Amino acid sequence: MPADMQIEIAKISGGGDATPHMAMVDWAERSESKAILGQTMSAETKPPASARGNAQLHREVRETSLPPMRARLQQQLHAISSIRCSR
């Protein structure tokens, strides 16, 4: 690690409880889902509300979101491979 990136820990707080960490992980995973899916309802659904209607919504989101995402990824990979091949 470069010297200008070193961190000095001034104070350690908390009692070893993982709750704050798990809350941050939960928030990050929900945020990631929202960013990928582009919506919030199915990304934040929690049991027992995740019944048949939400399962249907998840399927519809996948069916409408994945083909364009797949096409963009394919274009990006093609662009990257053509750059590498031209060098």
pLDDT one digit per residue (tens) for the chain, 87 residues? 677 888 887 777 766 777 888 888 888 888 887 777 666 565 555 666 556 777 777 778 778 878 888 888 888 888 888 876 665
DSSP per-residue string spanning 23-74? HHHHHHHHHHHHHHHS-STTTS--TTS-SHHHHHHHHHHHHHHHHHHHHHHH
In the 8-state DSSP scheme, what is residue 3?
A: G
Give the Cα-Cα-Cα angle 21, 35, 51 (nearest 5 degrees). Answer: 80
What confidence score (pLDDT) does residue 6 get? Answer: 84
What confidence score (pLDDT) does residue 54 get? Answer: 72
Q: Is the pTM of this model over 0.85?
A: no
The two three-digit tokens of residue 82, written as one number: 């053509």
